[in-house]
Amino acid sequence: MKNYRSLEAYNFFLSGWVHDVVHITTLTSNFIFRARVGRSQRVTEKPHTAWVAVDKDGVVLAAHCTCMAG
């Protein structure tokens, strides 16, 4: 994440493709983030739901999206 400005995901966030980011508190030192993500090809349909679980160092533990690629 130290070079986050060159990441494609950061550029999508700045461009407005990511909506309603929510932080879910856990009892451990892990963090869960959930967001609605706009579709890249069918922009008129409802957005996908994506979530990611990370630890306090930023290591991704698990992630999922409702798109076909998952």
pLDDT in tens, 44-59: 778 889 999 988 888 8
Q: What CA–CA distance (Å, rounded) separates 33 from 37?
A: 12
Residue 17's pLDDT is 79
- The mean pLDDT of 2-23, rounded to a whole number, is 77
Question: In terms of pTM, does the model score above 0.75?
Answer: no
What is the phi/psi pair of residue 36, to 5°?
Answer: -95, 135
